[in-house]
Structure 1
Amino acid sequence: MSDHHIATDDAWVPEACTLPTAERPLRLAEFDQFFADAVRGLDRLSAQHLRFQLDGATQVEEAARDLTARESSCCSFFTFDLSRTAADSLSLDVRVPAAHVDVLDALAERAASVRNVQ
């Protein structure tokens, strides 16, 4: 186990996360559902920057804003930027400082694996 990652059922939860341990499986399930339902593609723009292409539905935008706000409150090292790229698509940029690149790596791997299961 590294200083920044807790490996629990392939989870990508960093030790810096202040979300209570009992709530972490629920948050992971929320991310998995979001990845499966809303993500249409992902691009690694740099070691510290990941971009998700999302379905542009209003409920996807609302879910993304809610989920990223809650994640920012417990893992403050994440920077999320949600923008509408077209009427039917959204872009979610996720950035981390260099010390948390391993968490972004795991997030990208998790999203890709969830999307491939579908």
Structure 2
Amino acid sequence: MDDHWVPVACTLPTAERPLRLAEFDQLFADHLRSADRVDPHTLDLVLTGESRATVTDLTARETECCSFFDFTITEAPGNQVRVRVNVPSAYAAVLDGLSERLPR
């Protein structure tokens, strides 16, 4: 998959983008339990509880370079972690791109 959907507003150096995308891909492959696209600018993810440290670190780093992302991390039943991802309406295509990376 390419990263054509990554906006110009992202300050992560271009050379580092494939590595960051690979981190998200690995997180999703190893720990994603469910995903729900609530609306065009909101995505809810449920991941295993073991992923909490990785989720916290990865979302913090992503917010540093792409400040339009709003990640809310909460506990979910069954030792799981819920991540609500919000973006402004102008960045819905970015959330589309992230959603397309989710395992089916």
Instruction: Pick from 94, 98, 102 the counterpart of residue 107 of structure 1.
Output: 98
Give the structure 2 partner of residue 10 of structure 1: 2
Which stretch of structure 1 is more off in the superposition, 68-77 or 20-29? 20-29
Kindly provide the amino acid, as one letter, of the partner of residue 2 in structure 2.
D
Please give the root-mean-square deviation of Cα atoms over the aligned residues, in Å: 1.1
**Aligned 1:58-69 pairs, distance under 5 A:** 60-69=51-60
Q: Which runs of 4+ in 1 moved over 3 A?
A: none
Identity among equivalent pairs (%) = 51
SS at match of 1:93: strand
Give the structure 1 partner of residue 29 of structure 2: 36
Q: Please report the TM-score for the alignment, with normalisation by the length of structure 2.
A: 0.93
Instruction: Pick from 72, 76, 82 the counterpart of residue 85 of structure 1.
Output: 76
For structure 1, the 5+ residue unaligned runs are 1-8
Which stretch of structure 1 is more off in the superposition, 68-77 or 47-56? 47-56
For structure 2, the 5+ residue unaligned runs are none
Bigger Rg, structure 1 or 2: 1
Whether 1:47 aligns to 2:40 is yes
Q: CA deviation at 1:87?
A: 4.2
Aligned residues, how many?
103
